[in-house]
Amino acid sequence: MDSDDDFNMSSEEEDVLEDSDNDNGSVDDFGFDEPEPDLGYTQKEQVKKEKRTFDTNFKVYHPDDIQAQQDDLIDEVNMILDIRKEDAAILLRHFRWNKERLIEDYMDRPKKVLEDAGLGPSTTGPPKLEVIPGFMCDICCEDEPGLKSFAMKCGHRYCADCYGQYLNQKIKEEGEAARIQCPQDGCKRILDAKSLDLLVTSDLQNRYHELLTRTYVEDKEQMKWCPAPDCQNAIECGIKKKDLDKVVPTVACDCKHRFCFGCALPDHQPAPCELVKKWLKKCADDSETANWISANTKECPKCNSTIEKNGGCNHMTCRKCKHEFCWMCMGLWSEHGTSWYNCNRFEEKSGSEARDAQAKSRVSLERYLHYYNRYANHEQSAKLDKDIFTKTEKKMISLQTASGMSWIEVQYLNSASHALQTCRQTLKWTYAFAFYLARNNLTEMFEDNQKDLEMAVEALSEMFEKPVDELANAKLKVEIMDKTSYCNKRRVILLADTADNLANGVWKWSNNN
């Protein structure tokens, strides 16, 4: 069944090409008529295998595509329902661009649909600026003769200045576009683009359309803006919110930014969104503090409050529960008699029990710090990777002049730098992932994969840092190329393994965090 689907889903262009090849081949070489779809099929099967389990299907849209999509839908509704384009746009926005539902509802009860969308009963002809004798604007209370005024189809008339200022306030100050209503108290008539054009300057019109496009993308569940600064593209992806415990949908915008479609944070494979959120919160609460606490404090043996010793005396009284104990041996102070300032009772029972409890609570902190420090290390290195990238460019240029290699011949450094960045990004999140895993056979395999990738990355990183004259060495070049592809391979293995287990729901999470 699967294979049939695959065959049907492949691009038409390929089919045509391959079919004609097959036809020619079978007729000329073998002399019988039956076409051989198998040939094309096997090729496609291979293509399919290359698509890895942790890859997500998505599509990148540029600003022009996004505009065209809206225009197409508006044209369609305009034709099917025979209504003005600007009204079709308002209806579509009201229905969050669900064309089918709009048409269905409109066919059932057009009046109600129009009214709900803010296109209630209309009184006058096409809206235009007019001078009406005896008119007084209800907003500014001006009534001088010759005052230009405007009303949408609802008939609520205000002077052009006030209307314009109202729109300015809504668009510029409040960032509103799709839901701007008539200025009349209680009137729900929605402003259309044509009316807007009559009333405000072109830069405000542009802003209005920008805001509309923004709501178009935000209204669609399968679409998200690329979060990279200055990037205007949007991504379409079919992964739903409820799928996020089974997949980590990393997408890559045409601007090169890789991010998670689920939560819009930078790529965090293999860790699922929920875990990432938990981890980041924990780190924000804990990181520096945890280090300091680990070094400078102990917990009260009775109530577990964390206590910093800021004076010289070992006689501690817990502020919270008033428990008195000795800072040195953690034992009851009452057992210390008069041996002030100097504890030599390390072997006392109450002391050693308290120290055991202390150790237990420390273990969880230290476990966290183990993972956090490795996570932070890769994050730091990933930041340095930005420098590495620019350094690489310079290196590649100086390598060209030093060794006489061509631009193409030094591209391996670019690939290496790229591999380092993506692998470190992955490694970083493996540590957050591992922190939440319960220990079992799967975890061991995961840690082996993690270790392999980490060793490969560190080795590549070291080679990559070599001075230019050594990099020109042909042997090192081959080594770097090999290590680069090895790193990429190890990353794929690790991600495929974690993604499969995630999809099958077989990871066990530890519950004491």
Partner 1 sequence: MTQKRITKELQEVLATPPPGIKVNLVDESNVHNWNIIMDGPADSPYAGGKFQLLLVLPPEYPFKPPKINFKTRIYHPNVTFDEHGSMCIGILKSEAWKPSSRIPNVLTAIQQLLLEPVPDDALEQATAQKFKEDRKAYDKEAREMTKKYAK
- Can residue 162 be called a binding residue for partner 1 (CB under 8 A)? yes
Structure tokens at 217: 């993308």
Contact residue for partner 1 among 169, 201, 373, 440 (CB under 8 A): 169
179 or 362: CB nearest partner 1: 179
Instruction: Measure the CA–CA gap between 46 and 202, rounded to whole angstroms.
Output: 53
Near partner 1 by CB under 8 A: residue from 181, 287, 291, 358: 181
Span 445-504, contacts to partner 1 by CB under 8 A: none
Nearer of residues 172 and 323 to partner 1, judged by Cβ: 172
Nearest residue (CB) to partner 1, 187 versus 290: 187
Stretch that binds partner 1, among 177-185, 191-199, 252-260, 369-377 (CB under 8 A): 177-185
How many whole angstroms from its chain centre is CA 135?
54
Name the nearest CA neighbour of 247 among 263, 258, 236, 235.
263
| Residue 199: CB minimum distance to partner 1, A | 14
* Number of residues engaging partner 1 in binding (CB under 8 A): 23
Nearer Cβ to partner 1 (167/405): 167
> Which range of residues in 70-78, 178-186, 375-383, 417-425 is near partner 1 by CB under 8 A?
178-186
Q: Which is nearer to partner 1, 169 or 373 (CB)?
A: 169
CB of 192 to partner 1, least distance (A): 18
Q: Which residue has the tokens 């957050």?
A: 432
Q: How far is the CB of 139 from partner 1 (least distance, A)?
A: 5
Q: Candidates 161-169, 226-234, 242-250, 346-354 — which segment interacts with partner 1 by CB under 8 A?
A: 161-169
Query: Within 82-98, where are the H helices?
Result: 85-94
Name the strand (E) or helix (H) holding 315.
strand 315-317
- Of 308, 286, 303, residue with least CA distance to 432: 286
**463 neighbors 479 (Cβ within 8 angstroms):** yes
CA angle 436, 440, 445 (to 5 degrees): 90
Least CB distance to partner 1 at residue 185 (A): 5
Q: Which amino acid is at 368?
A: Y
Q: In the numeric block, which tokens belong to residue 292?
A: 């300091």
Distance separating alpha carbons of residues 200 and 89, to the nearest angstrom: 19
Tell me: does residue 331 bind partner 1 (CB under 8 A): no
Q: Do residues 427 and 453 touch, judged by C-beta distance below 8 A?
A: yes
Whether the link from the prior residue into 63 is cis, omega within 30° of 0, is no
Q: Minimum distance from CB of 5 to partner 1 (Å)?
A: 48
User: Binding partner 1 by CB under 8 A: which of 158, 216, 435, 436?
Assistant: 158
Q: Can you tell me the distance from the alpha carbon of 434 to that of 436, in angstroms, rounded to the nearest whole number?
A: 5
Please compute Rg for the chain using Cα positions: 34
Q: Which candidate, 270, 283, 284, 325, places its Cα nearest to that of 303?
A: 325
Which of 313, 318, 321, 326 is catalytic? The answer is 313
Among 118, 183, 262, 331, binds partner 1 (CB under 8 A): 183
Which span (156-164, 321-329, 380-388, 417-425) binds partner 1, by CB under 8 A? Answer: 156-164
For partner 1, the binding residues in 79-138 under the rule CB under 8 A are 138
Q: Pick one of 176, 210, 324, 452: the residue that binds partner 1 (CB under 8 A).
A: 176
- Which structure tokens are listed for 166? 């109202």
122, 184, 377, 443: residue in contact with partner 1 (rule CB under 8 A): 184
Separation CA 470–CA 399 (nearest Å) = 10
CB-wise, 162 or 316, nearer to partner 1?
Answer: 162
Cβ atoms of 222 and 29 closer than 8 Å: no
CB of 70 to partner 1, least distance (A): 24
List all residues 6 or more positions away from 138 whose beta carbon is below 8 Å from its beta carbon.
Answer: 158
Task: Out of 75, 174, 197, 221, name the contact with partner 1 by CB under 8 A.
Answer: 174
Complex with partner 1: residue 169 or 294, whichever CB lies closer: 169
Which is nearer to partner 1, 162 or 217 (by Cβ)?
162
The question of whether 487 is a catalytic residue gets the answer no
- Closest CB to partner 1 among residues 85, 214: 214
For the CB of residue 115, give the shortest distance to partner 1 in the complex, in Å.
Answer: 18
Instruction: Return the amino acid letter for 348.
Output: E
User: Among residues 161, 335, 379, 479, which is the contact residue for partner 1, using CB under 8 A?
Assistant: 161
Q: Which residues, 6+ apart, have CB-to-CB distance to 136 below 8 Å?
A: 142, 143
Q: How far is the CB of 88 from partner 1 (least distance, A)?
A: 24
Range list of H helices, 404-467: 411-435, 441-464
Q: Is 166 in the site for partner 1 (CB under 8 A)?
A: yes
With CA atoms as reference, report the closest residue to 211 among 164, 176, 167, 182.
176
- Considering the complex, what minimum distance in angstroms separates the CB of residue 14 from partner 1? 52
Which amino acid makes up residue 176? E
State which of residues 67, 165, 205, 291 lies at the interface with partner 1 (CB under 8 A). 165
230: left (phi over 0), alpha (psi -120 to 50) or beta: left
For tokens 């097959």, what's the residue? 22
Give residues with Cβ within 8 angstroms of 18, minimum separation 6: 39, 40, 43
**215 three-class SS:** helix
Q: Structure tokens of 222?
A: 């399968």
* Closest CB 98 distance from partner 1, rounded Å: 23
- Cβ closest to partner 1, residue 2 vs residue 185: 185
Binding mask 135-154 for partner 1 (x = CB under 8 A): ---xxxxx------------
Q: Which residues bind partner 1 (CB under 8 A)?
A: 138-142, 156, 158, 161-162, 165-166, 169, 173-174, 176, 179, 181-187
Catalytic residue positions, numbered? 313
